[in-house]
Structure 1
């Protein structure tokens, strides 16, 4: 995002709204520490004056709070209220939380949970493992096109063939441009392997020396609504452990969906 001009057909008001939302998204990815104005402006390509004006408006509306001691801005109470209103959409994540934490503690690896939104997967949570994790790993709020990463791949492979193709057509140019290591030509054979195996394996192509496993969470009609992802170092994921963890994650996904169905959440 930069301040150089407007997008085609975009009004100044729409641009202001887009920048304000970008600030909220950025702060969501940097909770609970928060960020200073200079960092907000730098990350979003905004001048200091624009960053101050937009952030102060969010403070006035209680979507953001300012900590004078640290000079950092964090998400405020109105953001929390909006999140509570949207909570029914996150029931699966709530139901899965205990199982995800247990899986992370049991394995020592990192465990992520993402939900489907259109042709994208959005990360809602991640549980800490013992192994170091790359700085560009998924963070809460991050979104990726279906097919990118183990979660997106697991979801894509679980879709009917025509819908999977529609997703790749819709996202293909964007994926090839922004995720060249996970280009569509790479994704297609991985989709077939995932369907045959039952869970996705990303063999260090997104981040060198880090592998990921992904399993979909399926409704009774077989439609994917979310994914569980485990990320660890290549050295820790020998073939036998891959198979054991893949089956373990599939059991977790079935258990979560069984509980969701009992609650009438899906």
Structure 2
């Protein structure tokens, strides 16, 4: 075996191990059974087990001795903390969230993409006394559910979007009845045309929202900003006004990211 072949095999093993780590992380801290990892990775059970053993030795993954399921290990937490010190979307977005809530009077949100899901990081309340309760900090929904999550989905390149659609379709079929493939297709097209996503009360009746994507300097979609309000405050003219506010603040956040990561 040549040196190039050895290096190629080693790189493939690293890629496989890291893909399994990502799959486990997508479960949001819950334990993952072996059957799910083999099904979602497309790898054989012996290969998955071999990769998991390597991750366990490094402390990135641990196995429950009773259930035999897998979860993120303590070293994953340490790595996450180190990454957060360099890059924390909430830190970059906090000023914008306050400005959006103050200017609109409604609740503003920042969400971050986590695999096939969008997770709400923060909710900033506006002054308007009647508030929608559809999204709270820590809530996790499949991409496409809600304005922010739809903005994330629609901002993906076509190839990535096609793969993500396959992943979220079964998720949406479980508890998100109004998010049919036809509705998702229409919402993506509308978002791409307008530059912002609209949730017309699909998840929770009378709770509407506008969302825009936030991208990294590399072009990768990181998360989204959104504003939610009751339906009576979401007429067409106001939708456009809110969208302008969100696009303005998303541009500010992206500029901060470029400066922080040395792209300017």
TM (normalized to structure 2)? 0.68
Indicate whether 1:211 and 2:208 are aligned.
yes
Say if 1:91 and 1:265, in contact at 8 Å, map to a contact too.
no
Report the 3-state secondary structure (helix = DSSP H, G, I; strand = E; otherwise coil) of the residue aligned with 1:126: strand
Question: Residue 252 in 1 paired to residue 249 in 2?
Answer: yes
Q: Which residue of 2 aligns with 1:88?
A: 85
Q: Which residue of 2 aligns with 1:119?
A: 116
Q: CA deviation at 1:183?
A: 2.6
Give, in whole Å, the separation in 1 of the partners of 2:215 and 2:158. Answer: 16
Q: CA deviation at 1:261?
A: 0.6
In the alignment, what sits opposite 1:232? Answer: 229
Matches of 1:99 and 1:93, distance apart in 2: 10
Give, in angstroms, the shift of residue 188 of structure 1: 0.8
Counterparts of 1:126-165 in structure 2, within 5 Å, are 126-129=123-126, 130-135=128-133, 137-165=134-162
Quote the Cα distance in structure 2 between the aligned partners of 1:173 and 1:225.
23
Distance 1:124 1:82, change over 3 A: farther
Aligned to 1:72: none
Residue 101 of structure 1 is matched in structure 2 by 98
What is the number of equivalent residue pairs in this alignment? Answer: 203
Q: Distance in 1 between matches of 2:187 and 2:114?
A: 21
> Which ranges in structure 1 are unaligned for 5 or more consecutive residues?
1-5, 22-78
Tell me the CA shift for residue 182 of structure 1.
1.9
- Report the CA distance between 1:223 and its aligned residue: 2.7
Residue 53 of structure 1 is matched in structure 2 by: none
Whole-angstrom CA distance in 1 between matches of 2:125 and 2:190: 28
Q: Mark the CA change 1:254 to 1:208 in structure 2 (over 3 Å): closer, same or farther.
A: same
Distance change (3 Å), C-alpha of 1:18 and 1:231:
farther
Give the direction of change, closer, same or farther, for the CA distance of 1:9–1:217 in structure 2 (3 Å limit). Answer: closer
- RMSD of equivalent CA atoms: 3.0
Query: By how many angstroms is 1:248 displaced?
Result: 1.3
Change (3 A) 1:95 1:9: closer
